[in-house]
Structure 1
């Protein structure tokens, strides 16, 4: 239920973005911050959330995440301004970063028998997928009946029921040998990616050569260097750099960044395309974006099996090519294009990205020692979230730049989709060529490999 709530919130927000823009009187950078403020905190705190759960108690951290996420949803729902809404989204990200790894850790501890654990995690992943697919439809219905505030209020009864049921039901567990918290690394990672995100989102409005934008990019470089220095010296780093000495681990996570970039960067604009460009209602737009979520939900369970049968390289490169081609075809869709010529493009994009995520995570896990499998999975989820932050920022900057040059919003979207598609195809070529050159052993995704992630 907890992971269902997080993933429902992830896709339900996208359906409400056009209504937020109208009622809050904000521009595209404001919408980008509504999304990226959340994803940024999830990306940077996800690894720490898992360590906190192991160290201080999985039930305690999980329920703390539920409470924070629920209260943050109330803050979002009653937000009187864009600033308050972004503050609520930051708090939601903190709650989700504790809730998601805590939920999976509780399941693993509750089912010590491997076969039962696999079934439990499979159910966890399946219910999570339902939340992901239900978001656009639920968002369209709630916004159409009320307004954007309703999409956050729906989390409140779920959170309250979760706390009331979990307190007497869940057992506490912890790992007495859990590593120490990497506080400096966590803080530097948030500041570094945050500075880069600020420059990308605000560059179009403030001017790419303005002092504050150039300063934000310079700060991102300096802070990133400091982060790498800290991670190289601390005994318990949040992101051990030694793991990236393994070429397969590096390639898998690099490709995962592009998966987050292309998926989240494009999904951010789907509802806006249908509402702003094609003139659909929010409810209709929510229904029209469903093929992407359904494509992911249908294909995801088979991605690991395909990787086991045909190998990591074939499945991942095929998925990236499929997603890239889908995005390229979406880049030539216009205001007068009928939905019969649009829905299959969205389904191809969802199916393509679904083929990549589980095998990429599986490759990262199997490229390290078995004792570090959980850490590798967490890093894989983190790199995908970092890609999501950059996708929303970069593609949004492209749309803003096109509008500033006199092009229409629709033309800006075309450029953004074409850019995302080209980036996916280039990543597919690079990943495929590297794997052919190095000829690594075929890597299959674990069965099942749950995704401790939020697509927002």
Structure 2
């Protein structure tokens, strides 16, 4: 009897320890995703203070944002494959370490060149953190229901960080200076490393998974040249020979990338998946949404700070209602999808984007914030509905065994959209902030109409029952 009671107590104690380790691992992976998402949005309110100290025009400031998103988009698929080969836990630790080193260099950067280069390395760290943190979480929670809840918390951490970025950046810049938006990453990432070392279990490795080196090189070249061509075209004109050359080479590299991926036995991007309509249109919508949203956030930050002369702190508070709207509609998106279907939800949200963008066309230097806030809330609410729905639709459109690749492909498309959006929208500001902003709103209306059209192609008969990883 005594032995049985002792054995039960040991099992209970072991279960308690395992539960605690799972919770700490969840906290570490959540922090990993949070720092990645924080650095996507926190920099937007810092571009003017950085420019004031380090110099540089709009084109140079665009690179502070774009260098991160280009590297993030270009390396995330390869990082996932490398994590499969080396083990997700090792990759997660490497991602945290790289992020710390790059953040320190960003904080200490003496000039824009060093800052931009360090931001690119930060993006590579982000590419390592996202797939590895999700993989570690999947190993930690083998039970499907528990895993779904853990992934939901992981996604909420990223969504909250992304939404809070402008306000956090504004507070730090106002009180401590812009360099602290990078210093803040260091203790967070150190916490992640410590917890992963102490609590996270070892993950399996797949030595059969090969790296797609030709695809990786072509992907980086294509995206880098496309972004460079758009940014520099906005500054020097799109008829300049080096701009035309960059764009032509970007198209050539992109074409070569598709051809290489179609022939690879283990491609970085499974091109055949795009033959599935639900998957294809979900990826297209994700790309267009990020082009519009992140481009608009970038130019709005410059509009508020350069045209309306708002401080970084005020700009952070200006974005708060919009980011709260994103979080709120994120929470209710699955219920709306279950009741009305993906097609209706995306099309209505796209229509809201068209209306709100059109209403902002009348924005001028003297327009009071009370007139702007309704449109900003509408834009945020629409985004908060669309993103989780297209995430679940992309997963539904892929085979179950390819859900990881489907998620990584959507992430790649969205981060590519972020990089292109900042480049494209910023390119319109070369001569006039207000005039360029109105052109950008016209681009947003066109993109929103395209999202509406693509949304009409979503097939509600194939809706997924999985919990989407919302970003």
TM (normalized to structure 1)?
Answer: 0.93
1:156 CA drift (Å) = 1.1
Deviation larger for 87-96 or 20-29: 20-29
**1:178 to 1:325, Cα distance in 2 relative to 1, 3 A:** farther
Q: Secondary structure at the match of 1:61?
A: helix
Structure 1 CA distance, aligned partners of 2:141 and 2:207?
20
Is 2:182 aligned against 1:152?
yes
Q: Show the counterpart of 1:372.
A: 402
Q: Show the counterpart of 1:444.
A: 463
Q: Which residue among 300, 318, 324 is the counterpart of 1:294? A: 324
Q: How does 1:207-356 map to 2 (within 5 A)?
A: 207-356=237-386
Is 2:136 aligned against 1:106?
yes
Structure 2 CA distance, aligned partners of 1:226 and 1:369?
26
Q: Show the counterpart of 1:29.
A: 59
Q: Secondary structure at the match of 1:331?
A: helix
Structure 2 CA distance, aligned partners of 1:446 and 1:346?
31
Structure 2 CA distance, aligned partners of 1:4 and 1:426?
30
Q: Secondary structure at the match of 1:342?
A: helix
Q: Are 2:105 and 2:118, in contact at CA under 8 Å, matched by a contact in 1?
A: yes
Q: Which residue among 402, 413, 418 is the counterpart of 2:437? A: 413
Is 2:450 aligned against 1:431?
no
Structure 2 CA distance, aligned partners of 1:90 and 1:393?
15
Structure 2 CA distance, aligned partners of 1:177 and 1:331?
54
Structure 2 CA distance, aligned partners of 1:176 and 1:196?
34
Structure 1 CA distance, aligned partners of 2:360 and 2:50?
24
1:441 CA drift (Å) = 4.1
1:298 CA drift (Å) = 1.0
Q: Show the counterpart of 2:232.
A: 202
Q: Show the counterpart of 2:122.
A: 92
Q: Are 1:304 and 1:444, in contact at CA under 8 Å, matched by a contact in 2?
A: no
Structure 1 CA distance, aligned partners of 2:331 and 2:208?
31
**1:445 to 1:143, Cα distance in 2 relative to 1, 3 A:** farther
1:257 CA drift (Å) = 0.9
Q: Are 1:359 and 1:444, in contact at CA under 8 Å, matched by a contact in 2?
A: no
Larger Rg: 2
Structure 1 CA distance, aligned partners of 2:169 and 2:234?
29
1:399 CA drift (Å) = 2.2
Q: Are 2:343 and 2:460, in contact at CA under 8 Å, matched by a contact in 1?
A: no
1:175 CA drift (Å) = 4.1
Q: Are 1:59 and 1:106, in contact at CA under 8 Å, matched by a contact in 2?
A: yes
Structure 1 CA distance, aligned partners of 2:315 and 2:189?
27
1:274 CA drift (Å) = 1.4
- Structure 1, unaligned runs of 5 or more: none
Q: Are 1:329 and 1:345, in contact at CA under 8 Å, matched by a contact in 2?
A: yes
Q: Secondary structure at the match of 2:461?
A: coil
TM (normalized to structure 2)?
Answer: 0.90
Q: Are 2:212 and 2:268, in contact at CA under 8 Å, matched by a contact in 1?
A: yes
Structure 1 CA distance, aligned partners of 2:134 and 2:454?
33
1:339 CA drift (Å) = 1.3
Q: Show the counterpart of 1:362.
A: 392
Structure 1 CA distance, aligned partners of 2:217 and 2:80?
16
Q: Show the counterpart of 1:50.
A: 80
Structure 2 CA distance, aligned partners of 1:296 and 1:177?
40
Q: Show the counterpart of 2:26.
A: none
Deviation larger for 378-387 or 49-58: 49-58
1:113 CA drift (Å) = 0.7
Structure 2 CA distance, aligned partners of 1:108 and 1:75?
32
